[in-house]
Structure 1
């Protein structure tokens, strides 16, 4: 018998109790998120059930697999675009999409081309999802930080322009550190893996009856892929901010 999560009454009971704990803690702490916790989990149940059913059909063909990966990229670009400019105009969504694709494409090419991940839909989709999610987060963090820096350090930017620097170069003087700051979570996760946390890929392989060596190998691949994808995505979005391709939307947007 496998070591996977038992789907049925035990899972339902565990979910109800966990939601109750979150709601009770929120009520006692006065966070105002008690109802939101229950709603979030209910949505997660419906969304994951739908995704599971769709995946069963899609991953059987390469066309379906490619379509699902493209959908994930589109949703990630839209989400990051909204985060960047508080409203997600088309230009911000396109810039976020460019950064995400720039980070994800080489990672998938390496892990699939090397044979480290089987060239099957059921293997490609989860790996792509993890890497796309990481690139989305790095894009949002680096882009928002870069835009904040341009606003808060406007005087330095103007001074650099007055000294004769080109607009892109002047902006990069201000926003370049934003990429490094956006990578702190990924770097910390990689440095402390196995000592502080056992991330999802490791736990997933163990729950799927894999041995610890397989779990460690899967997690190493995911962490290296995430670090590569997030680094590229952060650098690309910061470059696009410096070039004026992403601008801060008005506060009322």
Structure 2
């Protein structure tokens, strides 16, 4: 039995209703994100439609799979860079460093140990999950760190007055707030199976694997994300503290 939703008018109407409800709710709440909600839903629809048409061809070739993953990294870097700095100019692309530094060692380890087979159909979805996690950690860490530097500017300047170097003064101010960026993945890992059944588990299960194999895959993904997001957060914090991603903050 196919567990996927049927593609047709009903799916389109339900998606439109959900996106409209999300936009209306954030508008009523005064969050100022109603347009972004609708744009995000529309972009997701177009992007997934295109990817769905391309993915079969991409998965036939290791070269095309590698190119697709490279595009993922570029888009993730641009997205997190714009979220942190408010621009996609030169300094925003420093975000590629935490994303790549987090994802590459973990993927290399999983492929070297054959826990993830060196086949496009196995590598692409895992790489996508890892890149997305690194992007989220990078954006959240950078945004929280910059907000702290702006709102606690007096403490930063006080640290300088006491003889701290700019980097050290910035870290003293923004490190605790930046650590909050890791709470979502920590909570997701702690509650997996009790609160949610994440995508990797469901996907492997629907693909015909038994529940134990699905659980092992999900555990591998979650623990891998812990390492990836920790690495991304640490490097992003360093980039903010040294002024490479300051976005106008005092550092």
* 1:56 shift after superposition: 1.6
* 1:43 shift after superposition: 3.9
Q: Which runs of 5+ in 1 are unaligned?
A: none
Q: Which residue of 2 aligns with 1:5?
A: 4
Q: Quick one: distance in 2 between partners of 1:125 and 1:4? A: 22
Check whether the contact 2:23–2:37 (CA below 8 A) recurs between aligned residues. no
Q: Quick one: distance in 2 between partners of 1:99 and 1:31? A: 33
Deviation digits for residues 6-49 of structure 1 (CA, Å, limit 9, x no counterpart)? 6xxx3325413423542674698684799987765554333212
Check whether the contact 1:84–1:140 (CA below 8 A) recurs between aligned residues. yes
Query: Does the C-alpha gap of structure 1 residues 40 and 183 become closer, same or farther in structure 2, counting only changes over 3 Å?
Result: closer
* 1:59 shift after superposition: 2.4
* 1:107 shift after superposition: 1.1
Q: Which residue of 2 aligns with 1:190?
A: 189
Tell me if 1:130 matches 2:126: no
Q: Which runs of 5+ in 2 are unaligned?
A: none
SS of the residue aligned with 1:176? Answer: helix
Query: Does the C-alpha gap of structure 1 residues 180 and 52 become closer, same or farther in structure 2, counting only changes over 3 Å?
Result: same
Tell me if 1:15 matches 2:14: no
Query: Does the C-alpha gap of structure 1 residues 178 and 110 become closer, same or farther in structure 2, counting only changes over 3 Å?
Result: farther
Tell me if 1:58 matches 2:58: yes
Query: Does the C-alpha gap of structure 1 residues 188 and 23 become closer, same or farther in structure 2, counting only changes over 3 Å?
Result: closer
Greater shift in the superposed pair: 132-141 or 47-56: 47-56
Q: Which residue of 2 aligns with 1:201?
A: 200
Q: Which residue of 1 aligns with 2:117?
A: 118
Q: Quick one: distance in 1 between partners of 2:201 and 2:129? A: 13
SS of the residue aligned with 2:7? Answer: helix
Query: Does the C-alpha gap of structure 1 residues 15 and 43 become closer, same or farther in structure 2, counting only changes over 3 Å?
Result: farther
Query: Does the C-alpha gap of structure 1 residues 80 and 38 become closer, same or farther in structure 2, counting only changes over 3 Å?
Result: closer
* 1:74 shift after superposition: 0.4
SS of the residue aligned with 2:88? Answer: coil
Q: Which residue of 1 aligns with 2:160?
A: 161
Q: Which residue of 2 aligns with 1:146?
A: 145
RMSD between superposed Cα atoms in Å: 2.4
Normalised by the size of structure 1, how large is the TM-score? 0.87
Q: Which residue of 1 aligns with 2:87?
A: 87
Q: Quick one: distance in 2 between partners of 1:44 and 1:27? A: 15
Q: How many residues align?
A: 245
Q: Quick one: distance in 1 between partners of 2:149 and 2:50? A: 41
